[in-house]
Chain A
Amino acid sequence: MGQLDGKRAIVTGGASGFGKVISQALAREGASVAVWDVRKEGAEGTAKTVEAAGGKATGVAVDVSDSASVQMAMAQSVEALGGVDIMVNCAGVMYRTPIIEMPVEEWTQVISINLTGMFLCCQAVSRQMIEQGTGGKIVNFASGRGVTGSVNSAHYAASKGGVLAFTTTLGMEVAPHGINANSICPGATDTPMMRGGLTEEQVQSRMSSDVPYNKRIGKPEDIIGPILFLVSESSKDMYGQTLFIKTP
């Protein structure tokens, strides 16, 4: 008996990092999961691990920054799952580039995937949930960097600050439909994204210095508890709030 038995969930960015462990965790709790990722084989790979563990999942290829692609992926997922009750938006990119060297193409790409992608996915799933009349749960991955800024990742910081403000608004707008939309800021976590652009030495240095009280940098699995809270009845009176796992 899982706490999400019978629920139907979509997880974006499900090929790796947070999206992968969340896909697996929701499935373990009984949800059937559509694993979205721009890398089709990555999405299918996660879905296979879910099925190998006795869960239900399907991999869906999608470019979250493309409206038509999102709509197609939503239609495909609704058909496969029979509807949608939960959406966890993890898809995102981060690059390390100083502002003065940043090409506008890189800026635009990060904003398109991290922020516009969030808008497109939330809009599509809200329409679906409202049509179903079932209510639902939406969790968007923001970041403490959206509040504190992030040296050499101005586009990432701006996109995540945008996600915070967008989700606050979304939370109030979709609440009358019985949908709880909230965001989560996980803090530094050992994912492929965090490691990107860092040497192993830099990664190790962060692991030992970032978190004095538990002596380790976060693992992707650490996010599961807070996510289960935000997709369960326990958070039924939270609308558009931001849950910080670490002090930003």
Chain B
Amino acid sequence: MGLLDGKKGIVTGGGSGLGRANSLGLAAEGAEIAVADLRLETAQKTASDIVAAGGKAVAIQVDVSKGDEVQTLVDKAAESLGRIDLLVNCAGILPKTPLIDMSEEEWRRVMDINMTSMFFTCRAVARQIIAQGSGGKMVNFASGRGVSGMENASHYSASKGAIIAFTAAIGMELGHHGINVNAVCPGAADTPMMRSATDDASVEFLSNAPYNRRLVKPEDIVGSVLFLLTDLSKEYYGQTLFMKAT
């Protein structure tokens, strides 16, 4: 008996980091997962690990920054799983570049992948859920950096701040259709993205936070996502759950 028995969900960025942990965590609670990632082989690895653990999953390649590819993802997932109840948006990137050196191209790439992707996925999945007449749940990964800012990552910070505002707006809009959309800000977790953007001294610092004295693991985030995907959060619309102080 899992918390998500019979539910069907899409997890973007499911090939690594938080997306992988959420795919595994949701499947362990009984959900069938469409694991979406730009790198198909990483999505396939997550899906095969789910199947090996007794769960159900399919891997789907997608560039979430492209509207037509996202539509194809949602169509394929709905066909394969039979319906869509859940969406967890983890796909994102974090290049480190000072503002004065940042190219317009890099700025746009981060916005497209981190932010516009959520517009595409939330829109497509909302249409699907409304057509089903079923209600559903969406969780968008934002970041405390969207509030506090992050040095040499002005594009990332801006994209994550935008996700918080976007989620607040569609939380109200989609609430009318019985869909709960909320955002989560996980704080620094030990993922490939965090490692690539963080120097050793900062990792050491994060590993010695005075209150828990350890680096948060990706699987530690799953509890908050489960809260946002279950009936426990049924009166929760467009809110942002901060797991760490910003």
Residues of A in contact with B (beta carbons under 8 Å apart): 168, 171-172, 175-176, 212-214, 218, 222, 224-226, 228-229, 232-247
Nearest CB to that of B227 among chain A residues? A229
Q: Mark B222-240, 1 if CB is under 8 A from A, else 0.
A: 0110110011111111111
- How far is A51 from B8 in the complex, measured between Cα atoms in Å? 39
B238 touches A247 (CB 8 A): yes
List the A side residues contacting B226 at CB < 8 Å. 234
B244 touches A241 (CB 8 A): yes
List the B side residues contacting A176 at CB < 8 Å. 210-213
List the B side residues contacting A235 at CB < 8 Å. 223-224, 227
Could you say which of B70-78, B110-118, B150-158, B170-178 contacts chain A?
Answer: B170-178
Q: Which of B223, B234, B239 is A225 in contact with, Cβ under 8 Å? A: B234
The 10 closest A-B pairs by CB, nearest first: A213-B175, A234-B223, A225-B232, A175-B211, A222-B235, A229-B227, A213-B172, A172-B211, A237-B220, A239-B211
Cβ distance B227 to chain A, nearest Cβ, rounded Å:
4
A225 touches B235 (CB 8 A): yes
With contacts A168-B245, A234-B227 taken as known, whether A239 is within 8 angstroms of B232 at the C-beta atoms is no
List the B side residues contacting A229 at CB < 8 Å. 223-224, 227, 232-233
Nearest CB to that of A177 among chain B residues? B211
- How far is A214 from B171 in the complex, measured between Cα atoms in Å? 11
In this assembly, does B203 line the interface, its C-beta being within 8 Å of a C-beta of chain A? no
B235 touches A237 (CB 8 A): no
A214 touches B237 (CB 8 A): yes
Name, among B216, B232, B233, the residue most crowded by chain A CB atoms within 10 Å (CB to CB): B232
In this assembly, does B206 line the interface, its C-beta being within 8 Å of a C-beta of chain A? no
- How far is A233 from B226 in the complex, measured between Cα atoms in Å? 11
Cβ distance A171 to chain B, nearest Cβ, rounded Å:
7
B223 touches A233 (CB 8 A): yes
- How far is A234 from B241 in the complex, measured between Cα atoms in Å? 13
Nearest CB to that of B211 among chain A residues? A175
Nearest CB to that of B221 among chain A residues? A237
List the A side residues contacting B102 at CB < 8 Å. none
Give the bracket for the number of chain B residues in contact with chain A.
20 to 34
- How far is A62 from B244 in the complex, measured between Cα atoms in Å? 33
Cβ distance A70 to chain B, nearest Cβ, rounded Å:
25
Residues of B in contact with A (beta carbons under 8 Å apart): 168, 171-173, 175-176, 187, 210-213, 216, 220-221, 223-224, 226-227, 230-245
List the A side residues contacting B187 at CB < 8 Å. 237
- How far is A171 from B243 in the complex, measured between Cα atoms in Å? 12
B168 touches A247 (CB 8 A): yes
List the B side residues contacting A244 at CB < 8 Å. 239-240
Cβ distance A62 to chain B, nearest Cβ, rounded Å:
29
Cβ distance A181 to chain B, nearest Cβ, rounded Å:
10
Cβ distance A28 to chain B, nearest Cβ, rounded Å:
14
7 example contacts (A-B, Cβ-Cβ < 8 A) are as follows: A176-B211, A213-B175, A214-B237, A226-B233, A229-B223, A229-B232, A237-B221
Cβ distance B194 to chain A, nearest Cβ, rounded Å:
15
- How far is A175 from B171 in the complex, measured between Cα atoms in Å? 32
B172 touches A212 (CB 8 A): yes
- How far is A8 from B227 in the complex, measured between Cα atoms in Å? 22
Name, among B176, B187, B211, B224, the residue most crowded by chain A CB atoms within 10 Å (CB to CB): B211
- How far is A164 from B224 in the complex, measured between Cα atoms in Å? 20
Nearest CB to that of B220 among chain A residues? A237
Nearest CB to that of A241 among chain B residues? B242
With contacts A172-B210, A176-B211 taken as known, whether A226 is within 8 angstroms of B236 at the C-beta atoms is yes
19 additional contacts (CB under 8 A) given A176-B211, A226-B236, A247-B239: A172-B211, A175-B212, A213-B173, A214-B235, A222-B234, A225-B231, A225-B232, A225-B233, A226-B232, A229-B223, A229-B233, A232-B223, A233-B223, A237-B212, A237-B220, A239-B244, A242-B242, A243-B241, A247-B238
